Amino acid sequence: MEEQNNSGTLPPETPPPARQEPPAPKPAARGGTAFWLKLLAGLYALSLAAAVLVIYRADAARKAAPKEMDLSKLAGLAKKKDGVAVIPIYGVITQSNSSRAWERGSEQTAKRIKELAEKKDVKAIVLDINSPGGSVGAVQEIYSAVLKAKAETKKPFIARFGEVSASGGYYVASACDKIIAHPGTITGSIGVIFSVGNLEGLMKKVGYKSEVIKSGKFKDIGSMSREMTPEERRLLQGMIDDSYDQFVTAVSEGRKMPVEKVKELADGRIFTGRQAIGNGLVDKLGDLRDALDLAGDAAGLGKNPRVITDADPLEEFFSLIDTKLSLPGLGAAAEAVQAPRLEYRWEGRV
């Protein structure tokens, strides 16, 4: 029984809470997914329409062309003027068959030499060398490509030296008919080097020990975890001497210089371009323009010949970066993780 208040009346009833309606959905923003899908579909339709229009006009032009054309006249117009090809060899010479522009290796350079030498409008080739050398195998691959191209095509090759053309860079140039250098070019460094680090002391300090299981006592020759044995030194020296003889022979044959005369210069020393002329290692002082003129004269084209190059601008840019990044800090870091190898390479920095 409900209680009555003092006045004898019942308390008023409490009204039920008002029903809350759910918020109305917000309209989709114009930049939503649907908008962009419609935009892409529209662009796609426009591109198809443009393609159809281009094909239609090309077909109409083909039908409107005369049925009989003088192909001999077209051939005459398309004929290219003879010229001199320029092939850059920049940075450390290594083996790489990568198609990436910044990893131009000896395979690509050898292929380029062969292809340009076989072109009818190429009458001579200039090797624009700015390199401290590189691995023995890579250097010899380019050297062999030059000799084969000369033997097969009888076309003259001229080497032009930039800032540096030492060791393997000079090895490649010795296959050419003439060599031109700047007065201050660094060249020479005729010889071979094999470098390997010894981290044994460091490993002991950090508590690292290398365990090697091998089939023969020379299998881990050049290991950085231990000191080299006298027998290993004699074995490696024999390889160095053999590679050195190959270098001396290449220079002797290319420069038409007695072997004993080459050996007097082939103790690893470097020369300026002007010093190299006095020692018979260079033929003339000059720049790329002079090298092109010399190649033009040798090919019967005269001075200021047409220049032919198949180098990609992006490739040349990365090649230049590769050359300029031969800095002491970066070079040391790269060599620390590099496997030991025989090299025709100058270890200096410019």
Q: What is the DSSP string of 136-202?
A: HHHHHHHHHHHHHHHHHH---EEEEEEEEEETHHHHHHTTSSEEEE-TT-EEE--S-EE-----HHH
Q: Which pair of structure tokens corresponds to residue 67?
A: 């049925």
User: What does the mean pLDDT of the chain come to?
Assistant: 78
- Spatial contact of 312 and 101, defined as CB atoms under 8 Å apart: yes
For residue 32, what are the contacts with CB-CB under 8 A and spacing of at least 6? none
Residue of 79, 80, 217, 219 with catalytic role: 219
- 152 C-beta neighbours (distance < 10 Å), count: 11
Average pLDDT (205-215) is 83
pLDDT attached to residue 244? 94
In the three-class reduction of DSSP (H, G, I as helix; E, B as strand; rest coil), residue 284 is classed as strand
Identify which has the larger pLDDT, 291 or 197.
Answer: 291
- For residue 188, give the nearest of 240, 114, 138, 255 by alpha carbon: 255
Residue 105: what pLDDT? 83
Tell me the fold of 80-345. Answer: 2-enoyl-CoA Hydratase; Chain A, domain 1 (3.90.226)
- In the prediction, which pLDDT does 283 show? 96
d(CA 344, CA 243): 9
Average pLDDT score over residue span 301-307: 92
- Is the pLDDT score of 54 beyond 70? no
pLDDT at 334: 43
SS3 281: coil
pLDDT band for 313, please (50, 70, 90 cuts): low
111 is known as an active-site residue = no
Q: For 61-95, what is each residue's pLDDT tens digit?
A: 555 555 544 444 444 444 568 899 999 999 899 88
pLDDT at 185 exceeding the cut of 50: yes
- Give the confidence band of 327 by pLDDT, cuts at 50, 70, 90: very low
219 in catalytic set = yes
pLDDT at position 199 is 75
Q: Which helix (H) or strand (E) segment is 339 a member of?
A: none
Instruction: Identify the active-site residue in 167, 223, 252, 319.
Output: 167
Closest C-alpha among 179, 178, 107 to residue 145: 107
Please state, in angstroms and rounded to a whole number, the distance separating the CA atoms of residues 276 and 187. 7
Predicted local distance difference test score (pLDDT) of residue 177: 96
Q: Mean pLDDT, to the nearest integer, of 210-214?
A: 83
Q: Map out the domains of the chain as residue ranges.
A: 80-345
Q: What confidence tier does 178 reach under pLDDT thresholds 50, 70, 90?
A: very high
Token pair recorded at residue 152: 């097969």
Residue 308 neighbours by CB under 8 Å, 6+ apart? 83, 84, 85, 86, 116, 119, 121, 122
Question: Tokens 């881990």 appear where?
Answer: 220
Distance between CA atoms of 130 and 128, rounded to whole angstroms? 7
Residue 155: per-residue pLDDT? 95
Q: What is the pLDDT of residue 38?
A: 74
